[in-house]
A and B are shown apart, each in its own frame.
Chain A
Amino acid sequence: QKEVEQNSGPLSVPEGAIASLNCTYSDRVSQSFFWYRQYSGKSPELIMSIYSNGDKEDGRFTAQLNKASQYVSLLIRDSQPSDSATYLCAVKDAGGTSYGKLTFGQGTILTVHP
C-alpha cells in the first residue's frame, strides 16, 4: 500500500456544489496532515492543515481527520471555477526514525464547471 493515497480523479463538479476529496495514509506515526492546492505550472500552496481528530473549518474549506481509520478529507463548499486545480494531500511524521518526513499523495484533479 502506498504511504499516502488519494481518491482517483479527475473530479468534476458544477459551480456551487460541494467537492469532496479523500486521502488515506498507512504510517501510524503520522501526526500532521495538510491539503495543498496546485495550479497548473505553479508551486503547491497550503489550503488547510489539521492535527487532531475531528473537523476544522476555514471559510469554504473543511478538513476532517480520523486517525483510527487513517483517513483525512477535504470538503470544498460552494465550489467556484477558480477552485479548479490539483489538490495534494500530505502527511508529516512527527516521531520515530522518520520524523520530519513529509509525504504527498498522487493528487486529485478538480474541475469546477460553470
Chain B
Amino acid sequence: NAGVTQTPKFRILKIGQSMTLQCAQDMNHNYMYWYRQDPGMGLKLIYYSVGAGITDKGEVPNGYNVSRSTTEDFPLRLELAAPSQTSVYFCASSYYGGNTEAFFGQGTRLTVV
C-alpha cells in the first residue's frame, strides 16, 4: 500500500544543473499536485493536474515544468537550478471531485548551492 511515492528524498544540486523530481501514486487518483514549502511557511502550489495530459500552473510555476503522460506519474522538472529553489517539495494526489482529501508524499528536500 504505497500511496504517494516521491524520489529522491534528499538532493543537492549545483547552480545551473537540472533534475527531475519523481512522483508516483498507486491509488488511481485523477488529481495530482506539486508544492514547495520554504522554512516556516505554508505550501505554495507550483503545478497541478486534473488528469493525464492536463496540467495547469499554480502560484509559483516559474523555473519548473511538469508533464502528466499517465494517471500514476507526475514528474516535476527543474531547469537551471537557482538558490531560490532550495526548498522542500511535496507531491500530493486526490480522487476526482471537490469533496476529496489530498494525500501527500514524504517530500523531497532540495538544496541548490
Contacts and interface: CB of A to CB of B under 8 A. Distances in A.
Given A34-B101, A49-B99, A105 B50 contact: no
Interface in B77-112: 90, 92, 94, 96-102, 104-107
25 contacts: A31-B98, A32-B99, A32-B100, A34-B101, A34-B102, A43-B104, A43-B106, A44-B90, A45-B104, A46-B102, A49-B101, A92-B98, A93-B98, A100-B30, A100-B48, A100-B50, A101-B45, A102-B45, A102-B92, A102-B102, A103-B45, A105-B42, A106-B41, A106-B42, A109-B40
Interface residues of B toward A: which range? 20 to 34
Contact of B35 (A6, A46, A92, A104): A104
A56 B104 CA distance: 23
A94 interface: yes
Nearest to B58: A101
Nearest to A43: B104
Contact of B97 (A46, A94, A101, A109): A94
Interface of B: 30-31, 33, 35, 40-45, 48, 50, 56, 58-59, 90, 92, 94, 96-102, 104-107
Interface of A: 3, 6, 31-32, 34, 43-46, 49, 51, 88, 90, 92-94, 98-107, 109
